[in-house]
Amino acid sequence: MGRKNGCFATEPSRVSRSRKLTGHGYRALGKEILGHQNEPATPHLLPSPVPRHAVDALKSSQPQAVDSTALRHAAGAMIRAILIMSNLAGAMVSTPRLRAADVGDAAALHARFVDYSDEPLRHKIDHSIKILEDALRVFGPDAVYASFNGGKDACVILHLLRAARHAHAVKSSNREKPKCIYFDASDDFGEVRTFVRDTCEALSDELAVEPVAPDVGYVDGLKKLVSDAKPRALAFVLGTRQGDPNCGDQKPFEPSSEWMPAFMRVNPILDWSYGDVWSFLRTFDLPYCSLYDEGYTSLGSVSSTKRNPALLSNEEYKPAFMLEDWSLERAGRVEKPKKKAAVVP
């Protein structure tokens, strides 16, 4: 068990909806089936009492040594065969589709948040839901958009918004749906694109999904949404956290930058840490993209995202929630090459 900055990392009881038996799991299975075949037979392991001459005969027995060597070779061959089967299975098995039952009912989810007693995460959940309820009250549910890109932070805000929408509906009897928008990009991971589509489909009873045409781009997509909604103001719920690139000194409610279309940014998890995000997702058993179980801690495009080297252990990558140094969250992101300054003759 590792602990960092007040959060814990433990072996998962359930890490994602698409977790498969990995090569490591197959190796463990092979050892369990074969036993510890590499451990030599020694007198203290033999049943007692054993005559001394029998022990001496065992130690000097050449056929026994041959049999032991052959058994070790057989064990190694079987383990290699199991690993090959593991790789083939991983290539053939597709990620199961996310179902509505996987995300649960919003009312039940809200009740779980209310009943949760572990501070300080409980305090952060309450504060985040309050921000979202204010957004729903001021702008109206149908003018509130959750920007969902399939990342871990986006998963958090999506489920917090579901709970906030339920609380708002109970208080105001306004059962209009907030909207969920995602910008589909062809250079995103296939696992991410599938997870986004399946999540939006599973939540279609609670959120009005408005996908943008593929590869339109974030800014152009926002321009169209804002233009179509005029003169009404829109609010976009984002998963920005302090320390993120371009976060700056944003507040929970922050107007968009002047070079962007006019809308209100709603940042309900600004004060959440990397550990808070994973505690939330795992405590409430909420689905997330399977890539986070394969060594990725921050997801971007395929070309700009690698597995986090800080999670490499014994030639295998640990899941994202086991990252001990949270400052290395983006260690797997590839920086874009900087443009060379123009040379003035």
Angle at 167 between CA 101 and CA 8, to 5 degrees: 65
Between CA 196 and CA 150 the distance in angstroms is 5
Name the burial class of residue 24, with classes exposed (0-12), middle (13-18) and buried (19+) by CB atoms within 10 angstroms of its CB.
Answer: middle
Among 11-20, 76-85, 221-230, the range with the most confident prediction by mean pLDDT is 221-230
> H-type helices in the chain, by residue range?
23-34, 52-59, 62-92, 100-103, 106-115, 121-139, 152-172, 190-202, 218-229, 274-283
Q: What are phi and psi of 263, to 5 degrees?
A: -160, 170
**Residue 130, phi then psi, degrees to nearest 5:** -60, -45
Phi, psi values for residue 264, rounded to 5° = -100, 125
What are 316's two structure tokens?
């295998």
pLDDT bucket at 66, cuts 50 / 70 / 90: very low
pLDDT tens, residue by residue, 165-210: 999 999 998 999 999 998 888 999 999 999 999 999 999 999 998 8
**Token digits for 324?**
């001990």
pLDDT > 80? residue 30: no
Q: Give me the pLDDT at residue 243, please.
A: 86
Q: Among 47-61, 108-122, 257-271, 320-334, which stretch is predicted with the lowest mean pLDDT?
A: 47-61
- How is residue 187 annotated by DSSP? T
Look at residue 22 and tell me whether its pLDDT is greater than 90.
Answer: no
Give the pLDDT band (50/70/90) at residue 337: low
Q: Would the pTM of this model clear 0.75, i.e. be above it?
A: no
- Per-residue pLDDT, averaged over 307-317, amounts to 96
Rounded-to-integer distance, Cα 203 and Cα 169, Å: 17
- Domains of the chain from N-terminus onward: 21-92 (no CATH), 100-266 (3.40.50.620)
The rounded distance, in Å, linking the Cα atoms of 241 and 219 is: 20
pLDDT of residue 77: 58
Q: What is the mean pLDDT of residues 305-315?
A: 96
Answer whether residue 63 shows pLDDT above 70.
no
Which residues pair with residue 305 across a beta bridge?
333
Per-residue confidence band for 100, with pLDDT thresholds at 50, 70 and 90: low
Find out whether 68 and 58 touch, Cβ atoms under 8 Å. no
Average pLDDT over every residue of 222-230: 86
Determine the pLDDT at residue 248. 87
The token duo for 201 is 């489909």
- Relative to beta strand 235-237, strand 179-181 is unpaired
